[in-house]
């Protein structure tokens, strides 16, 4: 201690400092700065971002301009460079040129990209983008999307599979057309464990303690916990919600859950760090190419059925062109070609028959063409107002992050 | 005549003043745009009405309760953030000091090579290196296998997804920030001082305690600060190497931000910043290196 210097300022010395002009001026400017800061701070705050059809009107220039600009997720279409790709076919058939961008990596990130423009009723520079149900629902609630013209969507009307026709958040599919769908269920590694039949078993069996992961997406995970307490995820009460949250808390506190993840579970499952997890069907099919021991099961509680949806934002100038593009992919043959590449659930009736000509093994894969029995037991989350969405997200995040 | 002689130096002083301001201008503008404004924005956000949302807009209501609520609810992650960072900093010091000492005094012609080896990991991304640790520590991997054989890990235990892995990750990732300042200050030490200690009958240990260590204190302080401050707010290590019980404050801020709860995220960020400033000031005063403040 002795070689350390003593603090320079002792309280006594400070008090003894004389009142000088410099100090007074200094004190005054510090005071002024504090006051000004207060003024600046109180002027802060943000505007709401909701729009209505009346407040944000869009013109459609499709008749004059044969273009459409589309933002989609990476690896979510067959390779577009090839001459016989589905997108090239569309361009040749319709004379519309498509600017395809794979710049949607994450629903929330993408929301951040377009939030300022759409909140202020300005163009995002995109005519169409593809987002997951809950984000599509949020944007409908904010009035950021244009209503689609069903006359331009005859094949969608005819071929959309029954289970996806009226989701709770867009009952008449007025704003959205499913691009691809998927199921949320359980994936397990058959080399490490026997079949896991129910979600309840996965989150309670001590054998799997610290060896499972759940998804950090609120809707996905809570659908199962709501089912575990016997509630209907599409229509539940506050009490049931509270009960489901308590179950989640219990499971988390028991150390059963190793992590809440996005699709990082893929590595952990492949490496054997976890034996089972809540998983998305398309991921599992891709994992199975490398490791056939990885299985996907429909738990007894049922599964979550979700879609990524094509949407047309406000101020998009080529709505009719975008609708033609959406409709094109509801031709069963085109849909089958696409499904053969992306391995998610094909939302188009008749595509299964077309697929038998491309690859019969894929036509029999229930995770691409689910049978009625599988689809009968699927659930979606109830439609949420922005306030409810915030509340539920908040409740969930507090349990998993606390 | 007299008027002229008075005017000239005054004008010269004026010009010097102008030059000083001009030189400060680029840095000042930069700091205003990218530090002062965001800082105000952060403080403002932390005082918004918590019932607002991005969609409905946020009203400025001076909600100081955001702070109480956030700290109250996230005491665990807050304490854990500081705790893990402290342990990691200590480990970095214990590992880094001998390493820096060896490079500075014993490495001879290998000195430059060893320094490059310390910096080399920076050539790959932070994320990739942390993901590599996931592989190294994986449940069925070699490290865990050996640790189990030696009885360091229980038979049904694991290393990945535990607090141990998080601290190990932090230590690994921030070690170079400890080694480089330590090396810089050790390297500057005049060898004759250590020899003089020996001449005056100090044992090597005494020589180290009385001469080398005090002279390397600036390096120790700089190293510990450069390690402690960023690791307190880190969320990558806890996210990739931790489990649901090892959440650090950085993870909470990040997840609050993601669900759009900006007031809580901002309140926690400001809290973290204030706590770090207090801790660091106390530390620097006690260590007697006020010139760093």
Residue B156 maps to which CATH number?
1.10.3720.10
**pLDDT tens-digit readout, B131-141:** 999 989 988 88
Q: How far apart are CA A328 and CA A159, in angstroms?
A: 11
The answer to whether position B96 is within a domain reads yes
Does B73 contact chain A (CB < 8 Å)? yes
Residue-wise over B219-256: b if at least 16 C-beta within 10 A, else e?
bbbbbbbbbbbebbbbbbbbbbbbbbebbbbbbbbbbb
Instruction: Please answer whether residues A152 and A327 qualify as being in contact, where contact means their C-beta atoms are separated by less than 8 angstroms.
Output: yes
Domains of chain A from N-terminus onward: 67-175+312-330 (3.40.190.10), 183-305+387-401 (3.40.190.10)
Does B224 contact chain A (CB < 8 Å)? no
Does A377 contact chain B (CB < 8 Å)? no
Does B252 contact chain A (CB < 8 Å)? yes
Contact between A50 and B76 using a beta-carbon 8 Å cutoff: no
Is B249 a residue whose pLDDT tops 70?
yes
- Average pLDDT in chain B: 89
The answer to whether position B173 is within a domain reads yes
Q: Quick one: pLDDT at residue A37? A: 75
**pLDDT tens-digit readout, A75-98:** 889 888 888 899 999 999 999 999
What mean pLDDT comes out for the span A8-17?
44
Q: Quick one: pLDDT at residue A15? A: 44
Count of structural domains, chain B: 1
Chain B residue numbers touching A10 (CB-CB < 8 A): none
CA distance B111 to chain A (A): 31
**What is the domain range of residue B273?**
75-292
For residue A372, what are the CA distances in angstroms to A25, A92, A161, A210, A367? 80, 36, 10, 35, 12
**Strand-strand pairing, A294-297 and A212-215:** unpaired
The answer to whether position B56 is within a domain reads no
Q: Quick one: pLDDT at residue A6? A: 44
The answer to whether position B26 is within a domain reads no
CA distance B57 to chain A (A): 4
Looking at chain B, how many residues does it have?
Answer: 293
**pLDDT tens-digit readout, B180-204:** 999 999 999 999 999 999 999 999 9
What mean pLDDT comes out for the span B153-182?
92
**pLDDT tens-digit readout, A303-359:** 998 999 999 999 999 999 999 999 999 999 999 999 988 888 999 999 999 999 988
What mean pLDDT comes out for the span A187-195?
91
Contact between A259 and B43 using a beta-carbon 8 Å cutoff: no
Test mutation, B53, B131, B197, B265, chain A, max A CBs within 10 A: B53
- Percent of chain A whose predicted confidence (pLDDT) is above 90: 50
Residue A147 DSSP class: P
Chain B residue numbers touching A252 (CB-CB < 8 A): 244
The answer to whether position B1 is within a domain reads no
For A239, the enclosing helix (H) or strand (E) is helix A238-253
The answer to whether position B48 is within a domain reads no
The answer to whether position B126 is within a domain reads yes
Does B254 contact chain A (CB < 8 Å)? no
């Amino acid at each position: 201690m002795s070689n350390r210097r003593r603090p320079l300022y002792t309280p006594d010395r400070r008090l003894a400092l004389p009142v000088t002009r410099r100090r007074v001026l200094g004190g005054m400017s510090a005071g002024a700065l504090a006051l000004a800061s207060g003024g600046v701070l109180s002027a802060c705050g943000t505007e709401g971002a909701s729009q209505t059809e009346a407040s944000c009107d869009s013109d459609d220039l499709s008749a004059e301009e044969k273009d459409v600009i589309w933002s989609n997720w990476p690896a979510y279409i067959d390779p577009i460079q090839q001459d016989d790709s589905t997108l090239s076919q569309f361009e040749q058939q319709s004379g519309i040129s498509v600017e395809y961008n794979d710049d949607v990596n994450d629903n929330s990130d993408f929301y951040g990209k377009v939030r300022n423009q759409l909140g202020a009723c300005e163009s995002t520079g995109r005519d169409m983008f593809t987002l997951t149900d809950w984000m599509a629902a949020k944007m409908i609630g904010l009035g950021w999307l244009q209503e689609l013209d069903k006359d331009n969507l005859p094949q969608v009307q005819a071929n959309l599979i029954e289970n996806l026709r009226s989701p709770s958040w867009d009952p008449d599919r007025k704003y959205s057309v499913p691009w691809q769908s998927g199921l949320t269920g359980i994936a397990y590694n058959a080399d490490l464990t026997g079949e896991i039949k129910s979600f309840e078993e996965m989150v309670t069996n001590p054998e799997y303690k610290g060896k499972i992961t759940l998804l950090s997406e609120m809707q996905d995970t809570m659908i199962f916990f709501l089912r575990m307490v016997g509630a209907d995820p599409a229509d539940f009460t506050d009490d049931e919600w509270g009960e489901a949250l308590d179950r989640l808390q219990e499971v988390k506190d028991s150390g059963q859950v190793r992590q809440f993840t996005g699709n990082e579970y893929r590595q952990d499952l492949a490496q054997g760090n976890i034996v089972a997890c809540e998983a998305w069907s398309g991921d599992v099919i891709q994992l199975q190419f490398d490791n056939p021991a990885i299985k996907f099961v429909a738990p007894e509680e049922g599964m979550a059925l979700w879609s990524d949806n094509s949407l047309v934002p406000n101020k998009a100038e080529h709505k009719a062109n975008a609708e033609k593009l959406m409709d094109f992919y509801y031709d069963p043959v085109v849909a089958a070609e696409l499904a053969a590449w992306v391995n998610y659930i094909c939302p188009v009736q008749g595509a299964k028959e077309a697929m038998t000509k491309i690859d019969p093994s894929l036509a029999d894969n229930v995770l691409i063409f689910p049978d009625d029995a599988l689809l009968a037991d699927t659930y979606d989350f109830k439609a949420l107002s922005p306030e409810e969405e915030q509340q539920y997200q908040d409740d969930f995040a507090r349990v998993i992050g606390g | 005549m007299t008027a002229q002689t008075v005017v000239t130096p005054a004008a010269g002083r004026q010009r010097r003043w102008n030059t000083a301001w001009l030189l400060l201008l680029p840095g000042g503008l930069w700091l205003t745009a990218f530090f002062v404004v965001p800082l105000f924005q952060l403080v403002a956000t932390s005082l918004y009405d918590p019932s607002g949302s991005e969609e409905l807009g946020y009203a400025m209501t001076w909600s100081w309760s955001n702070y109480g609520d956030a700290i109250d609810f996230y005491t665990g992650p807050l304490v854990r953030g500081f705790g893990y960072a402290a342990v990691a900093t200590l480990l970095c010091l214990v590992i880094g000091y001998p390493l820096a000492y060896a490079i500075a005094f014993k490495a001879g012609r290998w000195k430059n090579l060893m320094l490059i080896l310390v910096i080399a990991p920076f050539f790959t991304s932070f994320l990739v290196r942390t993901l590599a640790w996931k592989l190294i520590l994986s449940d069925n991997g070699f490290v865990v296998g050996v640790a189990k054989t030696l009885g360091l890990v229980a038979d049904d235990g694991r290393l990945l997804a535990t607090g141990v892995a998080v601290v190990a990750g932090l230590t690994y990732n921030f070690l170079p920030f400890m080694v480089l300042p330590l090396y810089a200050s050790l390297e500057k030490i005049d060898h004759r001082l250590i020899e003089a200690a020996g001449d005056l009958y100090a044992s090597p240990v005494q020589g180290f305690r009385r001469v080398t260590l005090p002279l390397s204190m600036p390096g120790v302080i700089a190293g510990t600060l450069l390690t402690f401050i960023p690791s307190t707010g880190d969320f990558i290590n806890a996210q990739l190497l931790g489990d649901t019980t090892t959440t650090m404050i950085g993870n909470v801020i990040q997840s609050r931000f993601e669900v759009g709860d900006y007031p809580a995220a901002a309140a926690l960020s400001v809290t973290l910043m204030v706590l770090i400033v207090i801790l660091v000031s106390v530390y620097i005063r006690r260590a007697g290196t006020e010139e760093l403040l």
